Amino acid sequence: LFCSRLGPGWVRSPIGCHGRAPSLFCSVMAAVMAARDIEVAAPEQLQEQPTFSSDKSSEADGESQKLDVEAEAQLPPQRLILVVMVCMIQGYTLIGPLQHAFKVQMKIGDTGDVAHVFTQAAALVQWGKFAMTLGQNVLLACLCPMQRVFLAMVGMMLGCLIPPFFVYALGSTWLGWVFISFGLIGLSLGIFECTFLNVITPLGPLTKSYAIMGFPAAFAIINVIGMSIVSFGVPVQALFWYIVVCLPIGIALFATRFVPQLVGGGVKGDGSATAQINKQAVVWNSLKSCSVWLPQLGPFMLANI
């Protein structure tokens, strides 16, 4: 009993008993304690095995994701995505020189209460972008990213249709058209800008680069080329109608040329579909991982301030 209370380190050696028990008794007790150690260690070893397997699985998933990223980087660019982006972002140009033309057609001056209301209505573009960039994950949670892209393109078409149809064609001067038009444009932009780039990610970074170039290209087409044409006598409402007509073309092009590829998650270099699917991220999980992305965005945020 005395030797067993001293612990395994003592009873495994007859010397550890300090002569208080016979050598044979200590040897027996050492065997019993050793057997007990084996029985206790067995469950611990069984518990460690799943952890080892999980680590291996995590490493395999990480390697698989790395290979997928490398494969995407090798995909050829699909330049027609530039046309889709230009058709959509041209609606954003209504807050540029076309905004003043819209205001003049509404018979609103540059000063006064009505002019102030018009300016506040035009600000709905920025408010709508801000609201839906953050709120679409809640308000449009029932829609997948692909469906949100089509919803944004239809909303943009309706918002851009109001000035040429209701104001220029029908001659209406109801101030509510301004709120509806700029509100639809802002909400649609907030949904489209980040979601569209997310949806086309499986097509590779080169394709996404062409999509990003659609932003300056759209403004150059309307604000530079378009307004130059207007200066030669072309009615300004022609630019409004041009923007509206381009949107169904962009929707059709995206639906027929890119959606069949994106249904399978992307395309390989030979044009065949891949199995990877780009899924919607969970905002809360992204916020918990802010230590990864926030330091990289910090300088950019400070530069914009």
From first to last of its 305 residues, what are the pLDDT tens digits of the chain? Answer: 444 444 444 444 444 444 444 444 444 444 444 444 444 444 444 444 444 444 555 555 555 555 556 666 778 889 999 999 999 999 999 988 899 999 999 999 888 889 999 999 999 999 999 999 888 988 998 999 999 999 999 999 999 999 999 999 999 999 999 999 999 999 999 999 989 999 998 898 999 999 999 999 999 999 999 999 999 999 999 999 999 999 999 999 999 999 998 886 544 444 444 434 555 566 677 778 888 888 888 887 788 77
Amino acid residing at 166: F
Judge whether 22 and 30 are in contact, CB under 8 Å: no
Structure confidence at residue 212 (pLDDT): 93
Output the CA torsion sign for 129, 133, 134, 140.
Answer: positive
CA 77 to chain centre: 20
Of residues 260, 265, 261, 259, the one with CA closest to residue 278: 265
Query: How many other CB atoms are there within 10 angstroms of residue 194's CB atom?
Result: 17
Cα separation, 58 vs 122, in Å, equals 50
Instruction: Give the chain's length.
Output: 305
Of residues 67, 49, 69, 48, the one with CA closest to residue 59: 67
Query: How many other CB atoms are there within 10 angstroms of residue 161's CB atom?
Result: 18
Quick one: the chain helix, strand, coil %, rounded to 5?
Answer: 80, 0, 20
Cα separation, 173 vs 194, in Å, equals 34
Q: What is the DSSP string of 29-41?
A: HHHHHHHHHHHHH
Judge whether 26 and 11 are in contact, CB under 8 Å: yes
Q: Whole-model pTM?
A: 0.69
- Residue owning tokens 């300056």: 216
